[in-house]
Amino acid sequence: MKKIFVAMSGGVDSSVAAALLKKAGYEVTGVFIKIWAPELSACDWREELRDAMRVAARIYISLISFDLSADYKKLVIDYLLKEYRVGRTPNPDVMCNKEIKFGIFYREALKRGADFIATGHYAQIRRESNLLAPGRRGEVADRSLSRLVTSKDKNKDQTYFLWTLTPKILAHTLFPIGEYQKKEVRKLAKKFGLSNAEKSDSQGLCFLGQIDFKDFLAQHLPKKKGKVLNEAREEVGEHNGAHFYTIGERHGFCVTARTPTSAPLYIIAKDIKKNILVVSAQPATSQSACREIILNSVNWITDAPPASNKIIKARIRYRAPLVSCRVKNLVGHCARVTFSKPLFGPTPGQSCVFYDSRGIACLGGGVISEEQKL
């Protein structure tokens, strides 16, 4: 009997993941991971823990708790604030997966004798050999060659946040709900009699609850009035500090000058040293649209990176359309990405994630590092 530690947040997705594995005959241990949250956050970890406990009791599994709040603060929150201070826009979900769920939790689970860990992510893992025995969902036959692929529910797919995983980690990981639509997951929750079957999905960043993200940043970063310029470098407004904003954003700054159009203005570039934002009503055709970007911290989930002349797909933000590109690996975990057409919105600090030519297998990714020139 394989031993599996399941990360249970108290939500319906991870709860169904645990229930499916229990039904399949695994020895399942639920693990509630306590993370850091600001004092004024409406995110009540105690209530989330109680929901996880109710589910564990319902499906007859044990539940333990890992207090990783200090680690989360250091590895995710401090990283996030450091990136914003220098003008980049980090992705805390990617960092949480890398450092917490598939970092500390993964290592501790295996240290305690687990054969696998499992989470409620909408993603799938495929093996080179026959993975599923007849009638047995999730039964692993061969762990040597694992591939990360998109989930059945394309609207909920979370492979974008999992590009930092490695073949070794995938070999010890299961994503039980990846082959289901979200509506099917809720039906399964009701079938299993889970108390959180109708619980709403969490919105925004897990550690903030109902706190506005900019309000959170304002508690840690100083406000500094600056100029908003149009593409002709004419002053059209002001803002509270360039580090609070990201490329593509159209809210939060004030337009004080009359403009030729009433169309929304989008941030197309920013200069942290000069504390300047540049905006445009037509961002897709603006001067900031580019065909090449540089990535750092590049990770390839596959055995080898694709050839530089091979056309693959890339996504520069969660749920953004896939775009054809070529990738040339550079020295020091860096890469140059050349898109098939000029693209607006590559944002320093965000992730560029690669997929195969069909957009199904997630190949890896990297962090966008090339600053937009003003």
Catalytically active residues, by annotation: 96, 206
Distance between CA 269 and CA 287 in Å, rounded?
9
Residue of 196, 355, 345, 365 whose CA lies nearest to 268:
345
* Cα dist from 97 to 72, 80, 197, 301, whole Å: 11, 14, 24, 14
Distance between CA 369 and CA 364 in Å, rounded?
16
- Phi first, then psi: give them for residue 45, nearest 5 degrees: -65, -25
Question: CB neighbours of 336 closer than 8 A, spacing ≥ 6?
Answer: 292, 293, 294, 295, 327, 328, 330
Distance between CA 120 and CA 11 in Å, rounded?
9
Residue of 240, 121, 254, 236 whose CA lies nearest to 175:
121
β-partners of residue 173 are 117
Q: In terms of residues, how long is the chain?
A: 374
- Phi first, then psi: give them for residue 40, nearest 5 degrees: -90, 5
Residue of 313, 323, 305, 326 whose CA lies nearest to 357:
313
DSSP per residue, 151-216: -S-TTT--GGGGTT--HHHHTTEE-TTTTS-HHHHHHHHHHTT-TTTTPPPP-S-TTTTTS-HHHH
Residue of 121, 21, 34 whose CA lies nearest to 73:
34
Distance between CA 139 and CA 67 in Å, rounded?
30
Residue of 54, 47, 44, 65 whose CA lies nearest to 19:
54
> What are 308's two structure tokens?
């530089």
Residue of 366, 359, 323, 363 whose CA lies nearest to 151:
359
